[in-house]
A and B are shown apart, each in its own frame.
Chain A
Amino acid sequence: MIGRLLRWLLFVLAVLLLNLPVIVTILTALKSDADINASPPVWLFTPTLLHFRTVLGDPTLHFPRYLANSTALAGGGTLLALLLAVPAAYGMVRSGAGARILLPLMANLRAVPLVVFAIPFYLMYQVLGLLDTRTGLALIACIINLPLSLLIAVNAISDLPLEIEEAARVDGAGTRMILVRIVLPLIRPMLLSAGILGFITAWNEFLFGLILSTRNAVPVTVAVTFFTTSFGVRWGDTAAAMVLSMAPPMVLGLVAARGIGGALTAGAIKG
């Protein structure tokens, strides 16, 4: 009995401690400036949406555009990664091609920190005209997401029974038909988890957003850092901007926690 109580106490403390920055930031975003500056800190107060209105409504801040940038680059990069990974995974599993080098390379690509390519990407994007474009950042998101997308697709396809495909082939279905009509529907739940995790990873990326965008394509993670400098001590607005920037991945994460947990575990262990 006491053991159970202690466990629950540990759970509550762990959740509070791990999520403390989020809790404090959300509370700060909802406080009036007077409450923010109160010392000792107040925990009970009348919430206000003023800061959210400022962040979303002030046209000089361009915040909705930053949100749109992140949505576009994370969504585009994730979809492109899946589009490249699924056919490749099917080819690998069903023909054995690439099993010696390509798959192990992708599965362990995490060992190479992408920062080593930061400068080449900068130079390359300058030449290609991809600097400060959503397309350019989406392509980075794609390369970041590719390993996990491929790994999850390979695992999912390996688990499929061959008989259905063979029956379809006897009935005259080609590879494309089999891939689209049979394989894709069967592995959709796994792909969805991979896609959600990929979207979150891409949304949260910071380094390449910082280096490869200046004005038009700036993602929210980078845009929020502008706030702390240009706003000085206006912590309410900054906190509201932070809440808006982390809301999409957090909501996705809460909704799909189980799938993401599985994808994270598989990504680490199957590699």
Chain B
Amino acid sequence: MISRREGWLLITPLAVFLVLWLGFPFLTDLVYSLSQVGFTTLRQPRLSGFGNYAAVLHDPAFWQAMGFSLRYAVVETVAQVAAGLGLAVGLAPILSRYRSLLALILLPLMIAPALNGLMYRLMLNDFVGIIPIYLGMLDLSPNLLGPGWVFWTVAAIDALQNVPFTLLLALAGLQAIPPELREAARVDGASAWQEFRRVLLPLLVPVLAIAGLVRFIDSFRVFDHIYVLTGGGPGDATTGISLYIYKAFFAQQHLGLAVAASMILLLLSLVLLLALMRRSLHGARA
């Protein structure tokens, strides 16, 4: 053991970096969101009250973006947890026995979401993409990036990339269940479904909840693959909150709007952060 003083000394470099690289941006967000500021007066923000917040809260595009993020995150979470669980249960015997095969399943996680979006741009291209060509052979020609389909297209692309993550966690959960429990259920005459529903699922709930939480958080802020695939369109159909902030700042040059929206998202995420910190502190771990 070392003294607390020495402990803090070892932590200092990390703490200084955090203050500079998280604390300073936080203050900037706070001050600028309460100021009147434009690109010409970037370094002289003038405090002006809550005007920027009022503007954001009255912007229908902001609410539409929040709505998109929420709907998208719910769909992703449900789809990825369900598919990950199903695949984990189905593939566990194979993946437990031939552990190196797991690498082939995890491969999509190693790829940049932006690149994944680009690869689907290739696959969805009208002239060289295999998806429209093969659908065309079936006499189907849905406009997968049109208003009717685009939500489900970007959602499916994301789900296919991130299912390996929920699968990985579900697999870890499955492997932590003592085999005796399953054997006991079988000896007692449980069917495969009953064994899953009554024995496995209840024990997997904690790990699935964590997987779902992680996927919800990451899906809510979705940006990369949508940016390269649709740019948030058609119209604003696939503009989530991250893309809203990006567009407000870099496309519309509306600094006040962008910073106030950032601040609102930051406050929401701080509530979640504090809740999660309490959970960590009280040791209520899965």
Chain A interface (Cβ < 8 Å from any Cβ of B): 4, 7-8, 10-11, 14-15, 17-22, 24-25, 28, 36-37, 39-41, 84-85, 87-88, 90-92, 94-98, 100-105, 107-113, 115-124, 126-127, 139, 142-143, 146, 150, 162, 175, 200, 203-207, 210-211, 221-222, 224-225, 228, 233, 235, 238-239, 242, 245-246, 249-250, 252-254, 257-258, 260-261, 264-265, 268-271
Nearest Cβ in chain A — how far from B274, in angstroms? 9
Instruction: Kindly provide the distance from the CB of A122 to the nearest chain B CB, expressed in whole angstroms.
Output: 8
Q: How many A-B residue pairs have CB under 8 A?
A: 301
B110 touches A252 (CB 8 A): yes
Q: How far is the CB of B248 from chain A (nearest CB, A)?
A: 9
**Complex alpha-carbon distance, A235 and B121, angstroms:** 10
Q: Which residues of B contact A7 (CB under 8 A)?
A: 90-91, 93-94
| Nearest 4 Cβ contacts at the A-B interface | A95-B7, A91-B10, A253-B110, A120-B25
Q: Is the interface of A mostly helix, strand, loop or mixed?
A: helix
Inter-chain CA distance A104–B282, complex, in Å, is: 10
Contact between A124 and B24, CB atoms less than 8 A apart: yes
Asked if A111 and B207 make an inter-chain contact with CB atoms under 8 angstroms apart, the answer reads no
Which residues of B have CB within 8 Å of A211?
246, 250
B42 on the interface (CB 8 Å rule)?
yes
Task: Pick the contact of A102: B11, B285, B286 (CB < 8 A).
Answer: B11
Select one of B94, B112, B113, B286 contacting A8, CB under 8 A.
B94
Interface extent on B, as a size class?
A: 35 or more
Question: What are the residues of chain B within 8 A of A116 when measuring CB–CB?
Answer: 29, 245, 262-263, 265-266, 269
Q: Decide if the interface of chain B is mainly helix, strand, loop or mixed.
A: helix
Residue contact B6 to A18, C-beta cutoff 8 Å: no
Min CB distance A21 to B, Å, is 4
Partner of B6, one of A91, A264, A271: A91
Q: Report the separation of the CA atoms of residues A14 and B106 in the bound assembly, to the nearest whole angstrom.
A: 11
Instruction: Return the chain A residue nearest B250 by Cβ.
Output: A211
Q: Determine the residue in chain A with the shortest Cβ distance to B99.
A: A258
Contacting pair A112 B270 (CB below 8 A): yes
Using A225-B114, A225-B118 as known contacts, say yes or no to A115 and B242 having CB atoms under 8 A apart.
yes
Pick the interface stretch among B145-153, B163-171, B182-190, B196-204.
B163-171
Residues of A within 8 A of B286 (CB): 269
Q: A119-B258, A120-B25 are in contact. Are A207 and B242 (CB under 8 A)?
A: yes
A22 touches B111 (CB 8 A): yes
Cα A196 to Cα B35 with chains together (Å): 42
Contact of B43 with A by CB under 8 A: yes
* Complex contacts, A14 vs chain B, CB 8 Å: 87, 91, 105
